[in-house]
Chain A
């Protein structure tokens, strides 16, 4: 009788720990995998891989800087649009709206968050491209497939993430402090900005960082609207012109055909794996930072 109990105790514990280890290994294993598989390109090109501006795989030239630029540009546009909108909406739902309405808005936003990226991509293709051509008419874009299109599409996609997390952060501020501030004569806005925002700041920063992480890693939607043009290194970095042209990001390159066709060529394959490694590292750092901020705010383990 006791034997049976003992064995079950072992089994559940061992299985749980085993499953967790397996999951951890699976994810960490990816990191190792990409590192190992990309060794050829590090050996051959070293830092030139990271800072090179030319990618011509047929002649074994591999520089990823234009793709890094593409990723950063697209994510920057997305954040510049989605962070204020998302945080602003969260302020509205927490500080201004009555409780019932807040739940309704939250539900709506959750539904928005559930829309698959391929459908966002489809909307981008069929609806957003024309809009961007008109929007950027001054810079004379060749077509609707531009970095700006990708950025705007991403903004819509990360908006629910930013909004929900910001809402959680703001509503976690103690009601007693809010009431005390109002009792002193502070207006709603002053209470929101001086008391709530200050306390919720780690959570708000985390919301933005996690939104950024999502933007950095999104492939499918951006793939469909960005034009996928290699070697687009802007003549002037901080101008609108590169945003009005097609480009390439780390993810869109990975999602394309080179991932399949490069397998036979160790250097080419190494270069593609290098992209995966860089992407993994960048998203990893941003996400861990965002997660630790979320923990600091007090929501968690």
Chain B
């Protein structure tokens, strides 16, 4: 009887795991299979045609890259500041640290559509920017702030104390310890956090839906005001709403495959570093 339960347990949980793996393979597989038939160099390097439903996705790719680069520039300094506060400046205040931790978790769960709407109000209306790539970049940067901060915080906290003690022992001020020891040593955490965050940012639609992206009619932006971009996620989103035409479907799969390739490339770059930090932190 007890052996029976044990076997049933292993079987039931194994079925769950198998289902999950099958799901992943099915999803990734169907995208790869359908998308590859459409993908070729021309797809990636041509401009959209036929009111955006055919042709290539060059400007969409460039638009996504512009947004991602902006998000990087916005989130890197902000996340570093937050991480330093959590790991260094609040060292002696555990309650404040707990609140900041909870706040980071909560901020990470804010639905991205709300971020997009706030951006609509603040950037499009109040600042009068209309649709702007910069608004999109800022919103994406804010969105990934918790992810990047947490990655950096984990890394900072896993640094061996002897580095800090040696540096302080030499007479360095706290700020010097930060800049010459802490930050250089935790660069890996910052980089992997950024890569993960940007992987997520590159695929997000809701934050750029209201204040940054258009479906067609935009090339490379020329200023800040009224300078939208076309981006892969929004492109797919609009097309998917009206997708009964089979040629549109092919185009859709191709665009989806490109987006997925971009997201996976960024995630895979981050993964080895992140897994290592995670396991190090847990066994420490």
Q: Do A and B touch directly, given a CB cutoff of 8 Å in the complex?
A: yes
Rounded to whole Å, the gap between the CB of A124 and the closest CB of chain B is 9
Of the stretches A15-23, A41-49, A240-248, the one at the interface is A15-23
Q: Is the CB of A163 within 8 A of B20?
A: yes
Chain B contact surface mostly: helix
Q: Is the CB of B240 within 8 A of A33?
A: no
Q: Is the CB of A263 within 8 A of B9?
A: no
The interface residues of chain A lying within 8 Å CB-to-CB of B142 are: 23, 26-27
Task: Report which of B101, B176, B252 forms a contact with A122, defined as CB distance below 8 A.
Answer: B252
Rounded to whole Å, the gap between the CB of B257 and the closest CB of chain A is 9
Q: Mark B102-129, 1 if CB is under 8 A from A, else 0.
A: 1101111111111101101110010000
The interface residues of chain B lying within 8 Å CB-to-CB of A193 are: 9
Rounded to whole Å, the gap between the CB of B281 and the closest CB of chain A is 10
The interface residues of chain A lying within 8 Å CB-to-CB of B161 are: none
Report B194-225 residues with CB < 8 Å from chain A CB. 199-200, 202-206, 209-210
Q: Does B69 contact A (CB under 8 A)?
A: no
Task: Report which of B102, B112, B210, B268 forms a contact with A295, defined as CB distance below 8 A.
Answer: B102
Q: Is the CB of A85 within 8 A of B205?
A: no
Closest to A213 in B: B109
Rounded to whole Å, the gap between the CB of A110 and the closest CB of chain B is 7
Q: Does A142 contact B (CB under 8 A)?
A: no
Q: Is the CB of B82 within 8 A of A89?
A: no
Q: Does A290 contact B (CB under 8 A)?
A: yes
Assess A114 versus B200: contact at CB under 8 Å? Given A33-B121, A88-B16, A122-B240. yes
Chain A contact surface mostly: helix
Closest to B3 in A: A187
The interface residues of chain B lying within 8 Å CB-to-CB of A86 are: 16, 20
Q: Mark A9-52, 1 if CB is under 8 A from B, else 0.
A: 10111011111101110110110011001000000000000000
Of the stretches B47-55, B184-192, B259-267, the one at the interface is B259-267
Q: Mark A260-289, 1 if CB is under 8 A from B, else 0.
A: 100100000000000010011001101110
Q: Mark B1-38, 1 if CB is under 8 A from A, else 0.
A: 01101101110111111011101100110110000000
Q: Which 6 A-B pairs have the closest CB atoms?
A: A116-B203, A217-B111, A19-B81, A88-B16, A189-B9, A291-B105
Residues of B whose CB lies within 8 Å of any CB of A are 2-3, 5-6, 8-10, 12-17, 19-21, 23-24, 27-28, 30-31, 77-78, 80-82, 84-86, 89, 94, 97-98, 100-103, 105-115, 117-118, 120-122, 125, 142, 145, 173-176, 178-179, 199-200, 202-206, 209-210, 233, 236-237, 240-241, 243, 249, 252, 256, 259-260, 263-264, 267-268, 271, 275, 282
Identify 15 residue pairs between A and B in the complex whose beta-carbon atoms are under 8 Å apart, listed by A's number. Answer: A5-B176, A9-B174, A17-B89, A27-B110, A96-B13, A96-B14, A105-B20, A106-B275, A214-B109, A217-B112, A218-B111, A254-B113, A255-B206, A260-B210, A279-B114
Q: What 14 new A-B contacts, CB under 8 Å, besides A17-B89, A280-B114? A: A16-B89, A96-B10, A118-B259, A122-B236, A156-B23, A171-B282, A217-B113, A220-B233, A224-B240, A283-B111, A288-B105, A291-B105, A291-B106, A300-B101
